[in-house]
Structure 1
């Protein structure tokens, strides 16, 4: 991939990510504490790669969507490198099968966050289970790298501004997704929660907020 094509991809990425909203309302969003991490989450998918019964990546190639919406095939290692460089927002596709793909939007904030949004609508329930389990396992194994994880497979919070919650500009959370993990101080500050909401420890520094 040339420097020119990479620059074009990064320049258009914000529009690409906005277009991803059309993919559906079922998603997993993970906010990493520090965008200087060197593609660690991509490495997670490599570890669950070919030959594994819980494979997320069934090929050794991923696709980066370029400025024209065309697919630029890249080795997975190169995708991890691009994520680690934090040059700009990226949109990546992974495959379970030739027909079932997982789209991931990777965005960077001025606060140093790196946000990965996985759109689950094109996956089967079992494939969505796999993605959920892999990401929950990664967060549990390395809780210090994550400041928030939102798993919403029903779409009930698709219109909610989770960035505002993570950034501390709002504390009101009237609806809960299936799974909500937040850094301890952020979880403690929440208000307006459903009456049945319960807080509990998930991993060091991370609190689970659930409606059950």
Structure 2
């Protein structure tokens, strides 16, 4: 079973909104620049740290030519790994891994992603919040990107725009939906009291 994660599917914009995302994340205490090293940290294919100027990282992400794995920082020794990928269907996917974080830190990451998804001008298709890792992140690609009918095990919470939100509510009566802002619906399983 995988670790907990948040997977954010967002339309590709004509210009990158990475700088705006970094600013919004910073307001939640998640910095792009490592507090002691003074640079953004990108992970190479072997998992080693590569220091990079934040503007250069933003430029590379804006080129949309390759997937990039990077870190967001709570402190010099507490990070969130973010895998940033592009799909040929014009969608950006970020998977933020929650392993090793406290409940409060995971709450902060969730709040930052939800705030970005509802505040940034680029439309979000879906945000999968699977704190326990009950499904693989890639299992959500079919329903989110390709209108696939088969759904993975439902996570803790999911934000989605129509038609995906409507399709999920129709096919899963155990879900409840609430308006989340920016045209999205927050879906979660009913919990028995």
TM-score by length of 2: 0.83
Query: Is 2:185 aligned against 1:211?
Result: no
Gaps of at least 5 residues in structure 1 are 1-20
Distance 2:74 2:87 in 1: 29
CA contact (8 A) 2:158 2:188 kept: yes
Aligned to 2:22: 45
What do you get for the CA RMSD once the two structures are aligned? 2.4
Q: Secondary structure at the match of 1:55?
A: coil
CA contact (8 A) 2:24 2:112 kept: no
Query: Is 2:29 aligned against 1:55?
Result: yes
Distance 2:146 2:158 in 1: 15
> Where does structure 1 differ by over 6 angstroms across 4 or more consecutive aligned residues?
none
Distance 2:103 2:181 in 1: 26
Using a 3 Å threshold, how does the CA distance of structure 1 residues 204 and 43 change in structure 2: closer, same or farther?
A: closer
Using a 3 Å threshold, how does the CA distance of structure 1 residues 126 and 192 change in structure 2: closer, same or farther?
A: same
The structural deviation recorded for 1:68 is: 4.2
Distance 1:69 1:174 in 2: 29
Aligned to 2:85: 107
TM-score by length of 1: 0.76
Once the two structures are superposed, the pairs formed by residues 138-149 of structure 1 within 5 Å of their partners are 138-142=116-120, 144-149=122-127
Distance 1:117 1:177 in 2: 14
Residue by residue over 1:4-60, the C-alpha shift from the partner in whole angstroms, topping out at 9 and shown as x without a partner, is xxxxxxxxxxxxxxxxx9xx420000011115441x2453233443xx6x3111634
The structure with the largest helix share of the pair is: 1
The structure with the largest strand share of the pair is: 2
- Tell which has more relative contact order, 1 or 2 (C-alpha 8 A, sep 6+): 2
Once the two structures are superposed, the pairs formed by residues 18-167 of structure 1 within 5 Å of their partners are 24-34=2-12, 36-38=14-16, 40-49=17-26, 54-57=28-31, 59=35, 60-142=38-120, 144-158=122-136, 161-167=139-145
Q: Secondary structure at the match of 1:96?
A: strand
- Which of 175, 180, 187 is matched with 2:158 structurally? 180
Using a 3 Å threshold, how does the CA distance of structure 1 residues 144 and 83 change in structure 2: closer, same or farther?
A: closer
Name the count of aligned residue pairs. 185
Using a 3 Å threshold, how does the CA distance of structure 1 residues 154 and 41 change in structure 2: closer, same or farther?
A: farther
Q: Secondary structure at the match of 1:189?
A: helix
CA contact (8 A) 2:81 2:96 kept: yes
Aligned to 1:189: 167
